[in-house]
Amino acid sequence: MQVSIVGSGYVGTTIAACFADLGHEVVNIDIDEDIVETINSGTPPIHEDGLPELVGKHAGQDGTGRLRATTDYDSIFATDATFLCLPTPQADDGSIDLSVMETGATQLGKTLEATEDWHTVVVKSTVIPGTTEDVITPILEEESEKTAGEHFGVGMNPEFLREGTAVHDFLNPDKIVLGADDDRALADMHDIFEPLVTKSDAPVVEPDTRTAEMIKYANNSFLAAKVSLINDIGNICKEYGIDAYEVADAIGLDDRISEQFLRSGVGWGGSCFGKDVAAISAAAREREYDPAMLRAAVEVNDRQPNRLLSLMDDHVDVSGERVAVLGLAFKPGTDDIRNSRAIPVIEGLQERNADIVAYDPVAAENMRERYPNISYASNPAAVLDGAAAALIVTDWEEITELDAEFDAMTTPVVIDGRRAIDRRDGIVYEGLTW
Ligand code: UDX
């Protein structure tokens, strides 16, 4: 099939490269000429494992030519379907900001007006239930002066990609959700995903678009709430001196619970959990429903960094003292600091007038933009030298391997927020939930 992808962020670029690898002819449309040039040189504009190989193989000089990037929306004429992979950021009140999606849909509608051929538009971005049917489709109809279902199709296909493993997750899905409000759009999506369904044998779910939108929010809300639940239970374990990980290993044997997402600690970060839970919660409250469990999931998550700092306070007064922050990215394997738990930890140390020095193998420069006035060390040993306390926030391998380096601390108080290291003689060790 001929597929166009609007947007070259971590979702757009990943699915463009993966669709090309599945045998489709793909055009990736973006307004940023630098991004377009980067992709056409065979290089991905974002960091994701496996993406350099795929973009090089399909867009590079000697590649298959099945992937090309452009700023020209008219390129969709040569394609059968267009995926909208545009940002849906969080507004100040937590609700979803659809302005970029609306602009993209308007541009797409204007383009559709100029063709007589059938075309299917697929919403890929995470949007609250009803957006495809009540916002995107009316824009497409108004701008194209055509009728959805008659002149063009509309679908909704949510993604479940984790940062750092997006290529793997796309090519090894646990489900493929093909939301559609007309049969022809569904048929087109089946044709596009057929190579992946054959390759992965993943189950295909065929709801209407608003149900597809809700499946995405339910998926992320459940994962965020599961982490907060094991953190809530972990906090109780800590009060009893019980190891929450021993409890988690046991309950994970119940296949209704599973062992996934039971790692208690300093909590979840990233650009999705917080944004998605806030957006669906705001949408629920607009409909006079109070999502108490989702509110609690956020409340427990917000507690965890303060619990880490309180455990430190129990052992050392850090005012005027050097404190090491080990790990800044929201999880290992990425340089992304969005909603990282290191942010409230740094804020708390600033309130304690600590002399903060931080280490992260890849995310330090991103955090320096946010906090230029704290120190950054180039390796974990340097960050510990002379420190009165060390807080472990991200379990990078470089951090899990630390041991003798802690002996260079002035008072070896180590508060572990990720079960990154083992307690041992010579350090005053506290695990957040163990
Ligand atoms: C998540 C969803 O997993 C993905 O399906 C969706 O499409 C986007 O959001 P991502 O945010 O990239 O992906 O990371 P994920 O690996 O899910 O971890 C999210 C956060 O939860 C991280 O901060 C991680 O440290 C934390 N986490 C995860 C825990 O604290 N404990 C766990 O057991 C698992």
- Give the pLDDT mean for 330-346: 96
- Give the pLDDT mean for 34-50: 93
CATH superfamily of 217-302: N-(1-d-carboxylethyl)-l-norvaline Dehydrogenase; domain 2 (1.10.1040.10)
Ligand 1, atom 3, residue with closest C-alpha? 162
- Where exactly are the structural domains of the chain? 2-204, 217-302, 304-431
Number of residues that this document lists for the chain: 434
Q: Does domain 304-431 have CATH number 3.40.50.720?
A: yes
Amino acid at 265: G
pLDDT digits (tens, 9 = 90+) for 182-214: 999 999 999 999 999 999 999 999 999 999 999
Instruction: Give pLDDT, residue 284.
Output: 97
- Dist. CA 161 → ligand 1 center (Å): 10
The better pLDDT of the pair 364, 63 is held by: 364
> Does the pLDDT value for residue 62 go beyond 90?
no
CATH superfamily of 2-204: NAD(P)-binding Rossmann-like Domain (3.40.50.720)
Instruction: Give pLDDT, residue 3.
Output: 98
**Residue 356, SS3 per DSSP:** strand
Cα–Cα distance between 321 and 386 in angstroms, integer?
9
Query: Of 368, 276, 278, 376, which Cα lies nearest the Cα of 324?
Result: 376
> Does the pLDDT value for residue 61 go beyond 90?
no
pLDDT digits (tens, 9 = 90+) for 341-385: 999 999 999 999 999 999 999 999 999 999 999 999 999 999 999
Cα–Cα distance between 344 and 424 in angstroms, integer?
27
Instruction: Give pLDDT, residue 60.
Output: 80
Query: Of 141, 161, 4, which Cα lies nearest the Cα of 83?
Result: 4
Residue 194: C-alpha distances to residues 84, 149, 185, 197, 203 (Å): 20, 22, 14, 5, 12
Q: Encoding tokens for residue 39?
A: 């992709």
Residue 286: C-alpha distances to residues 91, 94, 128, 211, 291 (Å): 15, 12, 12, 18, 11
Backbone phi and psi for residue 281, each to the nearest 5 degrees, phi listed first: -70, -45
> Does the pLDDT value for residue 63 go beyond 90?
no
Note whether 416 and 429 are within 8 A (CB): yes
Residue from 46, 124, 268 whose mutation best tests the ligand 1 pocket (most atoms within 8 A of CB): 268
Q: Please state, as a whole number, how many other Cβ atoms lie within 10 Å of the Cβ of residue 119.
A: 23
Look up residue 30 and give its DSSP letter.
-
- Which one of the listed residues 18, 85, 237, 272 is annotated catalytic? 272
Cα–Cα distance between 376 and 246 in angstroms, integer?
35
Query: Of 219, 218, 220, 251, which Cα lies nearest the Cα of 233?
Result: 251
pLDDT digits (tens, 9 = 90+) for 283-323: 999 999 999 999 999 999 999 999 999 999 999 999 999 99
Note whether 190 and 153 are within 8 A (CB): no
Sign of the dihedral through C-alpha 422, 428, 431, 434: positive
Ligand 1, atom 22, residue with closest C-alpha? 268
- Give the pLDDT mean for 48-55: 94
Give the binding-site residues of ligand 1, using a 6 Å CB cut-off.
159-163, 220, 223, 227, 261-263, 265, 267-270, 272-273, 330-331
- Give the pLDDT mean for 116-123: 96
- Give the pLDDT mean for 269-277: 96
Atom of ligand 1 lying closest to residue 219 CA: 5
Q: Please state, as a whole number, how many other Cβ atoms lie within 10 Å of the Cβ of residue 147.
A: 11
Cα–Cα distance between 261 and 263 in angstroms, integer?
6
Look up residue 222 and give its DSSP letter.
H
Ligand 1, atom 5, residue with closest C-alpha? 160
Note whether 132 and 125 are within 8 A (CB): no
Query: Of 202, 160, 209, which Cα lies nearest the Cα of 186?
Result: 209
Amino acid at 31: I
Ligand 1, atom 9, residue with closest C-alpha? 272
pTM given for the model:
0.95
pLDDT digits (tens, 9 = 90+) for 389-417: 999 999 999 999 999 999 999 999 999 99
Instruction: Give pLDDT, residue 47.
Output: 83
Look up residue 269 and give its DSSP letter.
-
Residue carrying the six token digits 């369904």? 197
Task: Indicate if 304-431 has the same CATH topology as 217-302.
Answer: no
Residue from 11, 162, 303, 345 whose mutation best tests the ligand 1 pocket (most atoms within 8 A of CB): 162
Q: Which residues are paired to 430 by β-bridges?
A: 415
- Dist. CA 162 → ligand 1 center (Å): 7
Backbone phi and psi for residue 391, each to the nearest 5 degrees, phi listed first: -115, 120
Instruction: Give pLDDT, residue 434.
Output: 96
Residue 23: burial class (beta carbons within 10 Å; 0-12, 13-18, 19+): exposed
Looking only at the bridges linking them, the beta strands covering 176-177 and 179-180 are unpaired
Cα–Cα distance between 270 and 62 in angstroms, integer?
36
CA geometry: angle at 217 spanning 212 and 222, to 5°?
A: 125
Residue from 331, 335, 395 whose mutation best tests the ligand 1 pocket (most atoms within 8 A of CB): 331
Question: For all residues of the chain together, what is the average pLDDT?
Answer: 96
Cα–Cα distance between 131 and 124 in angstroms, integer?
12
* 272 annotated active-site: yes
